[in-house]
Amino acid sequence: MVATIRQRTAEWNATLKSINLSTVSISYADGKRINDEIAVAGMDLNTASLLSERIVKSGSLADEVNLMAVLKEIYGVMNDIAGQLLDATVTDDASEKQLANWGMSLSNTANGSVNKLSNETYAFVWARADRIDRDHCDSLTDR
């Protein structure tokens, strides 16, 4: 799972970094809001990578639950950015087309690989939590 998360977060970071708002004519307010959201997504991606490394070292269920939450956050932020790109105020057709391309690319990423990994992590974490709970209950009845 760690290798997959490391690979995916690098891919998702590259997708985010491909959005270069200085190359399009976009209102300052829209550009600032989108860049701020991109920064949040970058921090979330960094957190996901760090949590995955900690999970390998500690096997902590708490870290797994936190990773699950961060992946859901990444999914939401990427979809928010995609929507903002599609709704941004622009002054020319070329900028509108470029923002639409970035928005669709980001939406496809969020609803594709981000959502898939998030769902897989959710299933893995809850199955593990259920096993821990059953093992704990079994140990209580063995007394």
The terminus-to-terminus CA distance of the chain in angstroms comes to 36
Domain that holds residue 53: 2-141
Query: What CA–CA distance (Å, rounded) separates 92 from 97?
Result: 9
pLDDT of res. 142: 58
pLDDT < 70: residue spans in the chain:
136, 138-143
What is the number of domains present in the chain?
A: 1
CATH code assigned at 51: 1.20.1440
pLDDT of res. 4: 86
pLDDT in tens, 76-107: 999 999 999 999 999 899 999 999 999 999 99
pLDDT of res. 133: 78
pLDDT of res. 6: 86
pLDDT of res. 129: 85
